């Protein structure tokens, strides 16, 4: 069975990552799963941005956690270093705006970044993100992702009804399966360099699905077929979807 294609930060090869423009483009090319990243502003708003700072993808500078939502919204999120002025009007979206756009149109993978996980579970990014997902009314279409096991444990405790997925840069098959069991998930997402036939065998035996990222080349996707992947994250979701149709 062909793997599902996840639009990694939206259609991020062709539009500024983690913007509404990128998510709209992902929908237009036919992606039915969209992945995004969340950060928490200084005044407690969940915004969609990969990095802990705004420096790489906006025309501003500073830590997200030290900027208010109003300050963040004044920045252009058009990724000028990569796209010039073509998307200058794009703004850092809130999670609420993004979920409103995607509701009923795509499933959503929300990554909680390791650097955003604080000491207080009750007022941390996990609790705020859960609140937004519940308010949007799409609990059944969301999966929380993280490399940080504590974030996934908190999500399990605070929102057991919302699925989770454990990201890994590296690790043995035994470590990945044990991590999945610990946070109560049937989905692990190791980086493609950590895929192995041993992981495929152990995951099947444990009833755990395996996904990976980032795969932009159809030829590479073909070489990974032996791992029986559940899904692949791609910056070029339209390219992979077209290749799978062919």
State the catalytic residues: 8, 50
In this structure, is the dihedral angle defined by the CA atoms of residues 106, 82, 239 and 144, taken in order, positive or negative?
negative
Residue among 93, 159, 91, 83 nearest 124 (CA):
159
Measured CA to CA, the distance from residue 167 to residue 5 in angstroms comes to 16
Convert the chain into a string of H (helix), E (strand) and C (coil).
Answer: CCCEEEEECCCCCCCCCCCHHHHHHHHHCCCCEEEEEEEECCCCCEEECCCCECCCCCCCCCEHHHCCHHHHHCCCCCCHHHHCCCCCCCCCCEHHHHHHHHCCCCEEEEEECHHHCCCCCCCCHHHHHHHHHHHHCCHHHEEEEECCHHHHHHHHHHCCCCEEEEEECCCCHHHHHHHHHHHCCCEEEECHHHCCHHHHHHHHHHCCEEEECCCCCHHHHHHCHHHCCCEEEECCHHHHHHHHHC
């Amino acid at each position: 069975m062909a793997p599902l294609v996840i639009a990694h930060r939206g259609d991020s090869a062709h539009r500024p990552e983690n913007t509404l423009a990128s998510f709209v483009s992902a929908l237009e090319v036919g992606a039915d799963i969209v992945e995004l990243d969340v950060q928490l502003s200084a005044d407690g708003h969940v915004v969609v941005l990969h990095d802990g700072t705004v420096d790489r993808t906006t025309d501003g500078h500073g830590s997200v956690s030290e900027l208010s939502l109003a300050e963040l919204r004044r920045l252009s999120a058009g990724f000028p270093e990569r796209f010039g002025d073509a998307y200058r009007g794009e703004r850092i979206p809130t999670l609420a705006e993004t979920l409103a756009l995607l509701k009923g149109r795509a499933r959503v993978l929300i990554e909680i970044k390791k650097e955003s996980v604080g000491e207080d579970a009750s007022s941390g990014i996990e609790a705020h993100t859960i609140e937004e997902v519940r308010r949007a009314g799409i609990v059944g279409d969301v999966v929380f992702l993280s490399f940080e096991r504590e974030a996934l444990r908190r999500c399990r405790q605070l929102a057991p009804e919302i699925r989770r997925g454990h990201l890994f840069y590296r690790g043995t098959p035994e470590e990945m399966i044990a991590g999945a069991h610990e946070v109560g998930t049937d989905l692990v997402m190791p980086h493609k360099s950590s895929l192995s036939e041993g992981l495929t065998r152990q995951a099947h035996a444990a009833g755990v699905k395996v996904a990976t990222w980032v795969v932009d080349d159809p030829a590479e996707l073909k070489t990974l077929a032996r791992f029986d992947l559940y899904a692949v994250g791609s910056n070029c979701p339209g390219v992979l979807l077209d290749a799978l149709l062919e």
